Amino acid sequence: MAKRRKKTIAREPNGRASRRKEHIMERNEMTEREAKAPAIAARMRRTGLSEIYVDGKPETGKPNVGTPQGLLFMTGYITLDQWTAAEWYLHRRNEYLQAVKAPGAQFQPHEEIISSDPAAYARWCENAKAVWAGIRNCLHRASIEARSPIAAAFDHVLERSGEGLVHMYGDLRIGLNAILREFLMARRDAA
């Protein structure tokens, strides 16, 4: 017969668990830590990050560790500028999907969409489609220059959040740098 493992907790002289407030809080914290330990260990194994990044506490303040681009940034595969370009790319992709009313779009409230003016909505849709066409052309040019499948890297790593596709990270970096040069640096220089 297996022995039950007793918890080492503070006790009263009669043998019961202590009912003092600080002892109760200590027990609750200990059980929460014990409950989170397997999940944290699994995240640490999967991401390769230390416990401070995967703990999930809001005070860690790390940028989107749960997203593929955030994970790539935290592990050092992409820089902060490339992370910004990835966020910008995904936002523009979502706007394009909203404009064509694709089923995979995550609808976010926009002033143009909320307004009841159909002409403003049509202008917003045309603008989203034009920006997306510019992004695709930019990635196509970068793909031809580098002779690498940049569109596939964006599709598999960022959009489908494919894990374990380390061989595509270089192509992803090339594409993010192209987006950064063509769209984000031009905006930064104009400001």
The per-residue pLDDT for range 17-47, each reduced to its tens digit, is 766 777 777 766 666 667 677 777 877 777 6
In a domain, 14, yes or no: no
Q: Is the separation of the CB atoms in 135 and 89 below 8 Å?
A: yes
* pLDDT at res. 188: 63
Domain match, 44 and 127 both: no
Beta bridge partners of 11: 17
Residue 186 lies in a domain: yes
Q: Is the pLDDT of residue 58 over 60?
A: no
Domain shared by 113 and 180, yes or no: yes
Residue 146 lies in a domain: yes
Q: What is the pLDDT of residue 190?
A: 56
- Exposure string of 3-25, with b = 16+ CB inside 10 Å and e = fewer, is eeeeeeeeeeeeeeeeeeeeeee
Asked whether residue 135 carries a pLDDT value surpassing 80, the answer given is: yes
Are 134 and 87 in a shared domain? yes
- Mean pLDDT of the region 56-79: 70
Q: Do 119 and 160 sit in the same domain of this protein?
A: yes
Ranked by mean pLDDT, the top range of 18-32, 110-124, 126-140 is 126-140
| Residue 13: pLDDT over 80 | no
Q: What is the percent of the chain with per-residue pLDDT over 70, rounded to a whole number?
A: 70
- pLDDT of 62 > 50? The answer is yes
Binned at pLDDT 50, 70 and 90, residue 103 comes out as confident
Q: Between 7 and 143, whose confidence is greater?
A: 143
Does residue 144 belong to any structural domain of this protein?
A: yes
Chain mean pLDDT for the chain = 78
Instruction: Please give the residue range of the domain that contains residue 31.
Output: 21-60
Q: What is the pTM of this model?
A: 0.68
In this prediction, residue 60 has a pLDDT band, given cuts at 50, 70 and 90, of very low
CA 46 – CA 16 distance, rounded (Å): 41
Does residue 82 share a domain with residue 47?
no
Last residue of a domain, one of 8, 34, 60: 60
User: Which of 60, 89, 108 marks a domain boundary?
Assistant: 60
Supply the pLDDT for residue 127: 93
Cα dist from 72 to 18, 51, 174, 183, whole Å: 46, 16, 14, 21
154 in a structural domain: yes
Q: 138 and 162 in one domain?
A: yes
d(CA 87, CA 97): 15
Residue 15 lies in a domain: no
Domain count, the chain: 2
